[in-house]
């Protein structure tokens, strides 16, 4: 196998031990969002469990997996919580971002944010340490990489609020497109475990049709039908679910997937 020039991960969700191991390997590292672990839908672990309790978090995860409207459950849990849920959530998020900063050390990192990230807090904690991109591009190992984060609004202020479509419009042609969510391709946006159609963006399809980058890297879908799919002249590759796999997608100097 050729030596990788770039490593790519997505959906870290507080898997910072594995992230530190990847960072120590050296070379450019791309992180395509979702640094934070809001709820691990397999175990219930995460910020919600730390604040509202693991039992509630597991019930919420189960409801989502079954496609049940969990809003009444959330409203009830927050109404009886004795603290300030929003403030405590921000505190927990900042603590996780500081763990990410420690894990990454002095690695060369280029990142964007996911739908369960807090873009302003991410910038505040990690902005001086790593390069955070949205609607802009950078040359890495001789290729032009363009980044567009987010996807859609998440609850409790954890939202990738800047427009993904606007960010894509600002990019122009790149060799490798990096987003958090997949294009609007059912094989790539349907989760085979939950049975749900997850976040996706038709604006990405429009970008791929207009510019045909050689590669499109994304994450967000934890258990997709396929991790690779070709859209026109572009190979689309799901780079997650890093919290579960602990593995990075590796690219050669010419942008080929190892």
What is the per-residue pLDDT for 71? 87
pLDDT at position 1 is: 57
Say which CATH superfamily domain 6-35+104-251 falls into: Metallo-dependent phosphatases (3.60.21.10)
For residue 221 the two structure tokens come to: 């879908």
Q: Side by side, which strands form the sheet with 29-31?
A: 131-132, 109-111, 29-31, 6-9, 249-251
The whole-number pLDDT of residue 161 equals: 54
pLDDT of residue 154: 58
Please give the biggest Cα pair distance in the chain: 56
Per-residue pLDDT of the chain (258 residues; tens, 9 = 90+): 567 799 999 999 999 999 999 999 999 999 999 999 999 988 999 999 999 999 999 999 888 777 788 889 999 999 999 999 989 999 999 999 999 999 999 999 999 999 889 999 999 999 999 999 999 999 999 999 999 998 665 555 565 556 888 999 999 999 999 999 999 999 998 887 766 767 788 999 999 999 999 999 999 998 899 999 999 999 999 998 999 999 999 999 888 898
* pLDDT of amino acid 111: 98
pLDDT at 68: 81
In this prediction, residue 197 carries a pLDDT of: 65
pTM of the model: 0.94
């Amino acid at each position: 196998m050729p030596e990788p020039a770039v490593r790519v991960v997505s959906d870290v969700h507080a898997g910072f031990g594995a992230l530190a191991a990847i960072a120590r390997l050296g070379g450019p590292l791309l992180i395509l969002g979702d640094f934070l672990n809001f709820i691990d839908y397999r175990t219930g672990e995460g910020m919600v469990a730390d604040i509202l309790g693991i039992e509630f978090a597991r019930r919420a995860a189960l409801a989502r997996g079954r496609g049940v409207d969990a809003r009444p459950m959330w409203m009830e849990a927050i109404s009886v919580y004795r603290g300030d849920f929003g403030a405590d959530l921000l505190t927990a998020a900042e603590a996780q971002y500081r763990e990410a900063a420690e894990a990454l050390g002095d690695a060369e990192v280029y990142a964007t944010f996911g739908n369960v990230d807090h873009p302003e807090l991410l910038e505040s904690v990690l902005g001086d340490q790593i390069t955070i991109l949205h609607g802009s591009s950078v040359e890495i190992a001789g290729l032009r990489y363009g980044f567009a984060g987010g996807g859609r609004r998440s609850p409790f202020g954890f939202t990738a609020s800047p427009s993904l479509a606007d960010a894509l419009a600002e990019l122009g042609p790149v060799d490798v497109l990096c987003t958090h969510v997949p294009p609007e391709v059912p094989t790539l946006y349907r989760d085979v475990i939950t049975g749900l159609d997850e976040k996706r963006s038709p604006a990405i399809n429009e970008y791929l049709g207009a510019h045909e980058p050689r590669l499109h890297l994304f994450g967000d879908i934890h258990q997709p039908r396929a991790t690779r799919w070709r859209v026109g002249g572009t190979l689309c590759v799901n780079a997650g679910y890093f919290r579960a796999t602990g593995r990075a997608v590796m690219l050669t100097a010419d942008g080929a997937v190892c």
